[in-house]
C-alpha cells in the first residue's frame, strides 16, 4: 500500500498524487518550472490575488480527472487502470509547454513556435526519459487513441482543464461570477457512443458554465486594463529584441539573453534538443527582473516602457464596438511624440489599436451533448429551450485604442 | 449610545438591528410568526436544507438595505435619517402578510385575499399600534413617496428582496447556481433622475443575476417535484374545505378550523379586525399537524392525499413544452379510479394537468438601467451586447401532468 | 448499473444514497419523520438559521461514512461490501429514536425511556420489516461485532456523527468557529489493532476539532438564551402533563394527547408495539401548535408560559461559575408571585436555577489515538505537546438562574 | 463626491481606497514593489497556493481598519477624520520596509538593519515627499500619539495586521484551520481608558483566534519543509556573499549585486539616502533569477545549494522536542562531505541544527482585555475559565536537524 502525496488546495481541500509515475513527472524540472509561471500572466496588476500558477492549475485539473474517471466507471463505462493513468498524465501535462506570460509573449520570446509545439516536444522528451511509459498518455492527448471520450476529458468544451481554470481563476481573482459547480457537472458526465455527454438534469449547470465562461472572458481574461498591460509587455519585448538585433547591451539572465539575441524557430527546437532545456529555464521572474533593470537603459523607448510597467503606470485603454477612426489615432500619435520626446518611428510602442474576440460556446467545432432519460442526445444549443445558446456562441468582437494617459488632457 | 441587536446569519455573518422602532417591529407577534413560515414552503421535500424562514429573509433584506443606503449616500444621493429608517422598515415588512405555504395556499386558506392585501392590512394595524411612525415607510412601500428610487429599493427588478432571496435560497438549498454577488451589485447602485441605475462596470454582475434568477426558477422554484408537492398540498386543503362545508369533523387548531369552516373574503378582513389576528396565528405547523392527523380521517380521498404528503409518496409529475393530449390524461384518469378505489368525481385530486411560466427579466414592466461614464443610461436589454436579454425576457411556458406513480406500470 | 439517488447538501454538495436497502430505509415513515425534527431543537430562537433537521444530519453522517470507508480501504484496511453497507446503515439510523426537542423533552413526553432505547426498538422493528437485513448493522451499532473499529466510526470521540454535526450546526447557525475540516480528518484515518487512529500529520486538525467542539458547546449548544428557551419548553410540558393528570382539557394532536394523558414507561413500549408507532407520529410541529393554542388556556401558568414561548419573551438567564445564593433566588421567587399573579406553589415554573456541564474531550472513556510514522500510537492528550488537552478534558460546570425579565427592574 | 478606487479581494469581496493621499501612497514605487514580495516567502513550495503578496495583505489590513474605525465610532469612541486617515495610513505602511523573503533573509541581504528600521526610513522619506502629511500616521505607528488605542489597532495582540494575515494566509494556503471571524472580532471591539477591549460575548472568537494563530504557526509558518527551504535560502545568500567577498563573479541584478558586494549597515542607510532607493528595487524575483543562474556557477557549494532550491530537492528535516545529540550531527556531517564531494569547512551549508519557537499568546508583553457588561475588564488569560490560555502563552521550543535526504539510506 503506497503512500500518496497530498497537496493542499484552497479550492478542493486536498489533491492527491495517485501514481508513482505522476509523482516523478511532477518532480521533473519541466514541471517544477510551472511553479514560477502564473496562470493569468500579468492580470494580477488588475486582480491582486490572481497570482496562482500553472503548476497549481495542472494539479487541480488532474484532481478533477480522478473524479471524472470514478464517476464514469460507476456508470458502467470501462476505463482500464492503464487508461486512467494515461488520461491523468495527459491532463497533468496539457500545459507543460507554456512559457512566461505565454498568452502575451508567445511570439515575442521565440517566434514561429507555439506553446502547443513546445508541449509536444516536452512530452516526447519526457516519454524518452521515462522509457516509453507516456506513450498512451500522448496518444490520448493527440486524440489518436480509439476511445475518443478520453481525449474529450482532456480537451473539449467541458474538459477538466476548463472546469479547473474557471473555478481557480474566479477564486484567486475574487470575481465570484465565474464560480461553477465542477463537482455537479462531473457527477452528470456519461459516455454515449464513445462521446462525452451530460445527463439532462445537469443542463442548468452547463448553462451556468457557459455564461460563467463568457463573463470571465470580459471581466478577467479580456479585462481592459489587463489587455493594456499585456500589450505593454509585448512592446517591451519587441523593443528589447530590436535593440538586441542592433547589438545593444541588455541585462538579462543567460537563458533570456539567448532568446533575445537569436530568432529561434520551431525547426531550431527540433534540431538542437538543448534549446528546449534552455527554454525550460525561463519563467516570469526572468522577464520582470529585466524590466526593472531596463528602466535605466539608455534607450529612451525601452526605459519609458519598462518604467510604466514596473510602476504600474499603464497605458490608458478605450474599448468600443466599432473600430477607431484613423483621425482619432492620428491625433494621439501626433501628440505622443512631443509628449514623450520620441521619434515618429517609435510612437507605435505607445499608441496603438487592436481587437478582442470571444465566443463562449462554439458549437461548430465541438458540441456539449445532453443525454435524456429516453436515450436521446441533443446539442445544448438545441436542448436549452430557455437560454439562447446560439447567441452566446456568436463571437463578440470589440476594438481598443491605447495611449499614454497624460494625453487625455491634451487632446480633449 | 444605544446597543444594537445582532443576529447571526450564515450568509452575511452578522445582521444588526439598527433602530429602536425596528426592534419593536421585529418583536411584534405579526413578525415573530414569520419564524414559523418557511420561505420556500414545501420545497424542503426536494432540497432538505431549504428550511429557512420568511423571518430570516426579511432580516437579510433589511441588512442589504442598510448597505444600499450607505452606498447611495456615499455617491452623493441624499437620503435623510427619517427616509433611511422608513425604507428599512418597508423592506423589513414587505412580506409580513404571507401565510403558511402562501405560494401554494394563497387561495385555499382564505379566498379572494392575497398576501399583498394582508400585508397592507397588517402594516396599517402596526402603524396604528406604533402611533403613526410607519406612515413614511408605508408611503414608500406603496410608491406614493416623491423619491421613487426608495420604492425601487423595496420593489423592482433589482430590489433588496430579490438580492437576498436568491442568495438565501441558493445557500440553504445547496443549489450554488443561484449565488449572486449582492455586495458587488449594491456597490454599483446609483440614482439618476430619481431612478435606480447600475454603473456600467457592474453590467456582468447584473447579467449574472438575471441568469441566476432564471436558473433558480427552473431548478428550485419550479422544480418538478416541488410543483407536484405543492399541488398535493393545495388538493389536501381543497378536500378539507369541502369536507368542512359538508359538516364533517376535522382535526385542526382553532385558528385553522375557523378558516376551514368559513369562506372569508377581503371584505370580511376589513370589516372585522379580529380576523387579521386570527390569521396571524396560522403558520406552517398548523397545516402539517392536521395533515398528519387526517391520514386517519374516514374520508378516503383526504386520507390518501395526506398519507402521500406525510410519507413523501408524491404524485409522479411529467413536464414538457406542449400541452398533454386529452387521450393521455383520460387514460390516467380512468385507471386511477380503480387503482385508488375512488369515484370519478374525486379523481381530479390525483390526476391533473397545469402549466408553469417564468420569465427571468421583464423589461416591459420594469427595467434595469445601466449608467455609463458619459452619463448615458440604457436598459440592460440594450446595454448588454453579449447576452441576449431579450430572449431571457420572453416568458417560458411548460406543461405538466401529475398522477399516482403506481399507474406508471399499469399504463405502459 | 443501478442509478443512485442524489440529495443536495449545502455542505458537501451532493449526497448519494448508495444502496437499495438504504433507499428503502430512508423512505420508511420512521426515517421520514426526522424531516420534521430539528437537530438543534429550539435553538433557532437564538440562531435563526439553525433549522436543519435530524434527517439532513443523518444523511450527512452517512455521506462521511462513505468517505471514511473508502479512505480506510485505500490504506489496506479490509472492509467487505457487506460490512460497508452495515456500517453505513448503522450511522444512518444512529439517531432514529429522537423525538421532538428530544434534548429538552426526553423525560417530558415519555418518562423513563431514552432516545437510545427508542432507537434500539425502532432498529429491531425495521430489522423485522426488512427480513433480518439489518442484523449486522445492529451488531456494529451495539459494538457486538468483532471489528470494533467499525463501531468507532459510528460512535466514538471522532465518529462520523460528530464530524457531521459540528460542521452542520456551524453552517446553519452561522457560528463559523465550529467549522472543522472533516475531509482532512477523514483523510488521516487509519486502523491499528482494530482501533481507529489518526495519522500524526493530522494532529492539528484534531486539536482544532476538540477546540471547535468546546466552543460550539458554549456558543451554541449551551448558549444561555437557548438554555432558557429549553427550560421554558420543559416547564410547558411539565405543566401540561400536570393539567392532564388533573383531567383538564388540552388541545393536542391525538398522538401527543395520548402521551400527555399517560405515563408510559420503557416496559410499556416493549409490551405494546403500537406505542412505538404512536411515538413515531410525534414531531416538533405537535409541540408548537399546542403551545400556540395553549396561550388561551384558562390555566394562568400554562397560558403565561406558552405566550412567552410563542412571542419569544423568554426568561432572563444569568450564568456564572458558582451557585446562586438562596437569598438571591428567594428574592426573585418572592417578587415573581405578585408580578405574575400566581401562587407560591407555581413560581418554580418561572424562577429556577440549574447547572450546565461540558467537557470537550474525555480521555477517560474513549481516546483519540495518534499514529506516528514509526508505528507508535499515543493518546492525543499525550501527543499534543502544544495544546493542553488535559485542561480541555476537565469538565467545566456553570450555574444559571432564570426569572422573568420584568423582575430585573424591581429587584435591582 | 470623489470616486473611490476599488480592488477585488477574494476574502472581503471589495476593498475600497478611501482617501486621495492613500491612493497616492499606494501608487508610490515603495508600495508598488510589495506586489512582488510574497507574504509567506518561500512557503509556496509547501502550500502551492500561498503566493499572496505583502501588497494584498496591506490592502486587506487597511480594509479591516476602516471597519474597526466605524465600529468604534458607532460605540461613541471619538476618532476624528484626521485620526481615521492617519491610523489607516499607519496600517497601510506597517510592513513597507519588508525586503524579499525578509523573514528568512533579513540579515543576509543587508546586515544589522531590520525591516522595521527600513520601514521607519521609508515612512520618513514618504512624509518628506508628501509635505508632512504623514506626520500623525507616523506618530501613531510609533505609539507617540496620546490616543494609544489607535496604535493598538496597528500593532497589538489583536491588531488589524494579525486579523488580516491569519485569514489571508489560511485562505491562500488552503489550511482552513487558521480561518478566523475577523468581522465578528471587530464588531466586538471597544475602547476603555484609552485601551482596546473586546466585549465579553466575543470571548469565544478571541479564544478561537488564539488557537488558530497557534495552529497556523505549526502548520504553516513553522512547517518543517518551509523551515528547511528557508534555511536553504539563507545558506545560498551566505555562500553568495562569501564568494562576492572573495571577488568571485556572480550573476545578479545591479541592485542585488550592490548588496552582495558590500556590507551595508543601518548607519550607511541613514548616511546615503540613495541606498534606500536601491533597496527598494529588490524583490523576490531578484533572488530567484540569481538562484536559477547560479546552478551553473563553478563554486560547487553554491551550485549544489541552488540546484536543490530550483528543483525543490530540499534538505531533509527532522523535528523533535529535545536538542539533537552531537553524535548524530557528527555522523551526518562526516558522511555529507564524501557524499557531496565538498570539504569539511563547507559542510555546514548542508548539515545543520537549529530551533523553532512560538507562543500563541504572550500576556507578559501585551494583553487582550475582555470587557464585561458591568464594566469590569479582565485579561483573556484570566477571563477564559474554559481554555487554558496560560498554557498557550508558554513558549513552545522545538529542535530541528537538516541534512541531504540521500544520507538517510547511508546512515540508517
**pLDDT, tens digit, 9 for 90 and up, residues B168-182:** 999 999 988 788 888
Tens of pLDDT, residues D170-202: 999 998 778 888 888 999 999 999 999 999 888
Pairwise CA distance, residues D285 & A81, whole Å: 42
How many other C-beta atoms can be found within 10 angstroms of the C-beta atom of residue B377?
A: 17
**Which of A166, A174, A175, A177 should one mutate to test binding to chain B, selecting the residue with the greatest count of B CBs within 10 A?**
A177
**Given the C-alpha cell 429514536, which residue does it identify?**
C97
**Region of residue C143 (phi > 0: left; psi between -120 and 50: alpha; otherwise: beta):** left
Size of interface B-D (CB pairs under 8 A): 22
φ, ψ for residue C369, nearest 5 deg: -100, 140
In angstroms, the Cα distances linking D236 to C350, D244, D312, D347 are: 73, 12, 14, 13
pLDDT of residue C227: 96
- Asked whether the beta carbons of residue D187 and residue B1 sit closer than 8 angstroms, the reply is no
Q: Which of B412, B353, B363 is nearest to B383 (CA)?
A: B363
Residues of A in contact with D225 (CB under 8 A): none
pLDDT of residue C1: 43
The reply to whether CATH 1.10.3210.10 applies to domain A5-93+134-221+369-394 is yes
- Chain B contact for A378 (CB, 8 A cutoff): no
- Asked whether the beta carbons of residue C48 and residue B36 sit closer than 8 angstroms, the reply is no
- Per DSSP, D36 falls in state G
With cut-offs at 50, 70 and 90, classify the pLDDT of residue C365: low
- Asked whether the beta carbons of residue B36 and residue C174 sit closer than 8 angstroms, the reply is no
- Asked whether the beta carbons of residue B187 and residue D1 sit closer than 8 angstroms, the reply is no
- Asked whether the beta carbons of residue D204 and residue C215 sit closer than 8 angstroms, the reply is yes
Pairwise CA distance, residues B138 & B123, whole Å: 7
Pairwise CA distance, residues C251 & C249, whole Å: 7
Out of D32, D56, D281, the one facing A49 most closely (by C-beta) is D56
- Asked whether the beta carbons of residue B177 and residue A208 sit closer than 8 angstroms, the reply is yes
- Asked whether the beta carbons of residue D10 and residue A35 sit closer than 8 angstroms, the reply is no
Tens of pLDDT, residues A378-401: 888 777 765 666 666 667 789 999
Residue A248 is inside which H or E element, if any?
Answer: none
Asked if residues C387 and C340 have their Cβ atoms less than 8 Å apart, the reply is no
Pairwise CA distance, residues D368 & D362, whole Å: 9
- Chain C contact for D205 (CB, 8 A cutoff): yes
With the C-alpha atoms ordered B51, B54, B55, B61, is the resulting torsion angle positive or negative? Answer: positive
- Asked whether the beta carbons of residue A10 and residue D171 sit closer than 8 angstroms, the reply is yes
Pairwise CA distance, residues D343 & D301, whole Å: 10
**A83-97, A191-205, C196-210: range with highest mean pLDDT:** A83-97
How many other C-beta atoms can be found within 10 angstroms of the C-beta atom of residue B304?
A: 22
Chain D: closest CA distance from residue B372 (Å): 14
| Distance between first and last Cα of chain D | 72
Residues of B in contact with C36 (CB under 8 A): 288
* All cell numbers assigned to D265: 549597515
Q: Enumerate neighbours of A (3 or more CB pairs within 8 A).
A: B, C, D
pLDDT of residue B366: 72
**A181/A54: higher pLDDT:** A54
Pairwise CA distance, residues A169 & A181, whole Å: 14
Q: Could you tell me how far CA C306 lies from the centroid of its own chain?
A: 24
- Asked whether the beta carbons of residue C13 and residue A181 sit closer than 8 angstroms, the reply is yes
C379 strand-pairing partners: C369
Q: Which of C181, C172, C169, C171 is nearest to C216 (CA)?
A: C169
pLDDT of residue A393: 65
Q: ipTM greater than 0.90, yes or no?
A: yes
Out of A52, A284, A312, the one facing D49 most closely (by C-beta) is A52
Tens of pLDDT, residues A224-235: 999 999 999 999
pLDDT of residue D19: 77
The reply to whether CATH 3.40.50.850 applies to domain C223-313 is no
Out of C1, C76, C183, the one facing A13 most closely (by C-beta) is C183
In angstroms, the Cα distances linking B82 to A38, B70, B280, C253, D379 are: 51, 14, 29, 48, 41
Asked if residues A83 and A199 have their Cβ atoms less than 8 Å apart, the reply is no
Residues of D in contact with B75 (CB under 8 A): 1
- Chain B contact for A190 (CB, 8 A cutoff): no
- Chain C contact for B196 (CB, 8 A cutoff): no
Pairwise CA distance, residues D46 & C216, whole Å: 31
For helices A203-216 and A160-173, give the axis angle rounded to 10 degrees: 60
- Asked whether the beta carbons of residue C179 and residue D179 sit closer than 8 angstroms, the reply is yes
Tens of pLDDT, residues C137-170: 999 999 999 999 999 999 998 899 999 999 999 9
For helices B284-294 and C284-294, give the axis angle rounded to 10 degrees: 110
Pairwise CA distance, residues A5 & A21, whole Å: 12
- Chain C contact for D329 (CB, 8 A cutoff): no
- Chain B contact for D13 (CB, 8 A cutoff): yes
Q: Which of C166, C202, C179 is nearest to C380 (CA)?
A: C202
* All cell numbers assigned to C224: 444561555
pLDDT of residue A144: 97
Smallest CA–CA distance from A10 into chain D, residue:
D174
Chain D: closest CA distance from residue C13 (Å): 18
Pairwise CA distance, residues A270 & A273, whole Å: 6
- Per DSSP, C182 falls in state H
Choice among B336-350, C157-171, C172-186 with the minimum mean pLDDT: C172-186
With cut-offs at 50, 70 and 90, classify the pLDDT of residue C361: low
Topology of the domain comprising C315-359+395-412: Growth Hormone; Chain: A; (1.20.1250)
C5-100+112-221+373-388: CATH number: 1.10.3210.10
Topology of the domain comprising A315-359+396-412: Growth Hormone; Chain: A; (1.20.1250)
Where does chain A hold its CATH 1.20.1250.30 domain(s)? 315-359+396-412
Smallest CA–CA distance from B3 into chain D, residue:
D75
Question: Taking residues B290-296, what's their average pLDDT?
Answer: 97
- Chain A contact for C397 (CB, 8 A cutoff): no
* All cell numbers assigned to D191: 475602547
Residues in contact with B132: Cβ distance below 8 Å, sequence separation at least 6, in sequence order: none
Percent of chain C at pLDDT exceeding 70: 94
Residues of D in contact with B14 (CB under 8 A): 183-184, 187
pLDDT of residue B411: 47
| Rounded CA Rg of chain C | 23
Chain C: closest CA distance from residue D204 (Å): 6
- Asked whether the beta carbons of residue A204 and residue B184 sit closer than 8 angstroms, the reply is no
- Chain C contact for B289 (CB, 8 A cutoff): yes
Outline where DSSP puts E strands in A101-154.
none
Residues of C in contact with B55 (CB under 8 A): 48
pLDDT of residue C412: 46
Percent of chain A at pLDDT exceeding 90: 70
Tens of pLDDT, residues A355-367: 998 765 665 567 8
Chain B: closest CA distance from residue C191 (Å): 33
C241 strand-pairing partners: none
With the C-alpha atoms ordered D220, D226, D230, D233, is the resulting torsion angle positive or negative? Answer: negative
Q: Enumerate neighbours of D (3 or more CB pairs within 8 A).
A: A, B, C
pLDDT of residue B310: 94
Pairwise CA distance, residues A94 & D386, whole Å: 53
pLDDT of residue A109: 85
Listed by number, the residues of chain D in 43-82 with a beta carbon closer than 8 Å to a beta carbon of chain B are 74-76
- Chain B contact for D204 (CB, 8 A cutoff): no
Question: Taking residues C297-323, what's their average pLDDT?
Answer: 95
With cut-offs at 50, 70 and 90, classify the pLDDT of residue A409: low
- Per DSSP, D142 falls in state T
Pairwise CA distance, residues C137 & C139, whole Å: 5
Intervals of chain D under pLDDT 50: 1, 411-412
Pairwise CA distance, residues D192 & D188, whole Å: 13
- Asked whether the beta carbons of residue A173 and residue D9 sit closer than 8 angstroms, the reply is no
Tens of pLDDT, residues A52-102: 999 999 999 999 999 999 999 999 999 999 999 999 999 999 999 999 998
Checking if the pLDDT of C21 tops 70, the result is: yes
- Per DSSP, B38 falls in state B
CATH superfamily of B5-93+134-222: Hypothetical protein af1432 (1.10.3210.10)
Residues of D in contact with C176 (CB under 8 A): 179, 181, 184
Where does chain C hold its CATH 1.20.1250.30 domain(s)? 223-313, 315-359+395-412
Residues of A in contact with B387 (CB under 8 A): 211, 214, 391-392
Chain D: closest CA distance from residue A177 (Å): 12
Chain B: closest CA distance from residue A253 (Å): 40
Asked if residues C48 and C117 have their Cβ atoms less than 8 Å apart, the reply is no
Residues belonging to chain B: 412
Asked if residues D230 and D222 have their Cβ atoms less than 8 Å apart, the reply is no
**Given the C-alpha cell 434500539, which residue does it identify?**
C120
pLDDT of residue B386: 58
As to burial, measured by CB atoms within 10 angstroms (0-12 exposed, 13-18 middle, 19+ buried), residue B276 is middle
| Rounded CA Rg of chain B | 23
- Asked whether the beta carbons of residue A310 and residue D59 sit closer than 8 angstroms, the reply is no
Residues of C in contact with A184 (CB under 8 A): 13-14
- Chain D contact for A405 (CB, 8 A cutoff): no
Out of D6, D76, D183, the one facing B13 most closely (by C-beta) is D183
Percent of chain B at pLDDT exceeding 70: 94
Chain B: closest CA distance from residue C278 (Å): 11
With cut-offs at 50, 70 and 90, classify the pLDDT of residue C411: very low
Q: Enumerate neighbours of C (3 or more CB pairs within 8 A).
A: A, B, D
Out of D208, D219, D388, the one facing C388 most closely (by C-beta) is D388
B319 strand-pairing partners: B400
Amino acid at each position: 500500500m503506497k503512500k500518496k502525496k497530498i497537496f493542499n488546495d484552497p479550492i478542493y481541500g486536498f489533491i492527491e498524487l495517485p501514481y508513482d509515475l505522476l509523482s516523478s513527472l511532477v518532480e521533473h524540472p519541466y514541471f517544477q518550472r510551472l511553479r514560477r509561471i502564473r496562470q493569468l500572466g500579468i492580470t494580477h496588476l488588475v486582480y491582486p490575488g490572481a497570482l496562482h500558477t500553472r503548476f497549481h492549475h495542472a494539479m487541480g485539473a488532474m484532481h478533477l480527472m480522478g473524479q471524472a474517471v470514478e464517476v464514469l466507471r460507476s456508470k458502467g463505462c470501462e476505463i482500464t487502470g492503464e487508461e486512467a493513468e494515461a488520461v491523468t498524465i495527459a491532463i497533468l501535462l496539457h500545459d507543460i509547454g507554456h512559457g512566461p506570460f505565454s498568452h502575451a509573449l508567445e511570439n515575442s520570446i521565440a517566434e514561429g513556435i507555439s506553446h502547443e509545439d513546445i508541449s509536444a516536444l516536452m512530452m516526447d522528451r519526457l516519454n524518452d526519459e521515462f522509457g516509453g511509459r507516456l506513450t498512451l498518455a500522448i496518444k490520448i492527448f493527440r486524440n489518436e487513441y480509439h476511445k475518443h471520450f478520453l481525449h474529450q476529458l482532456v480537451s473539449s468544451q467541458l474538459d477538466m482543464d476548463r472546469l479547473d481554470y474557471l473555478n481557480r481563476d474566479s477564486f484567486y481573482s475574487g470575481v465570484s461570477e465565474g464560480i461553477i459547480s465542477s463537482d455537479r457537472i462531473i457527477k452528470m458526465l456519461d459516455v454515449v457512443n464513445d462521446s462525452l455527454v451530460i445527463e439532462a438534469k445537469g443542463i442548468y449547470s452547463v448553462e451556468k458554465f457557459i455564461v460563467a465562461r463568457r463573463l470571465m472572458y470580459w471581466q478577467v481574461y479580456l479585462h481592459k486594463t489587463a489587455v493594456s498591460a499585456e500589450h505593454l509587455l509585448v512592446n517591451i519585448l519587441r523593443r528589447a529584441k530590436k535593440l538586441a538585433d542592433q547589438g545593444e547591451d541588455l541585462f538579462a539572465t543567460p537563458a533570456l539573453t539567448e532568446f533575445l539575441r537569436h530568432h529561434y524557430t520551431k525547426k531550431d527546437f527540433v534540431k538542437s534538443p538543448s534549446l528546449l532545456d534552455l527554454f525550460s529555464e525561463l519563467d516570469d521572474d526572468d522577464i520582470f527582473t529585466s524590466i526593472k533593470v531596463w528602466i535605466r537603459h539608455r534607450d529612451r523607448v525601452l526605459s519609458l516602457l519598462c518604467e510604466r510597467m514596473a510602476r504600474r503606470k499603464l497605458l490608458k485603454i478605450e474599448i468600443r464596438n466599432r473600430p477607431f477612426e484613423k483621425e482619432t489615432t492620428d491625433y494621439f500619435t501626433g501628440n505622443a511624440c512631443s509628449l514623450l520626446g520620441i521619434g515618429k518611428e517609435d510612437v507605435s510602442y505607445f499608441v496603438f489599436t487592436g481587437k478582442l474576440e470571444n465566443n463562449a460556446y462554439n458549437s461548430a467545432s465541438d458540441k456539449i451533448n445532453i443525454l435524456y432519460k429516453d436515450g436521446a442526445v441533443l446539442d445544448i444549443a438545441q436542448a436549452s429551450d430557455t437560454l439562447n445558446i446560439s447567441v452566446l456562441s456568436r463571437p463578440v468582437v470589440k476594438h481598443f485604442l491605447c495611449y499614454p494617459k497624460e494625453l487625455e488632457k491634451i487632446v480633449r
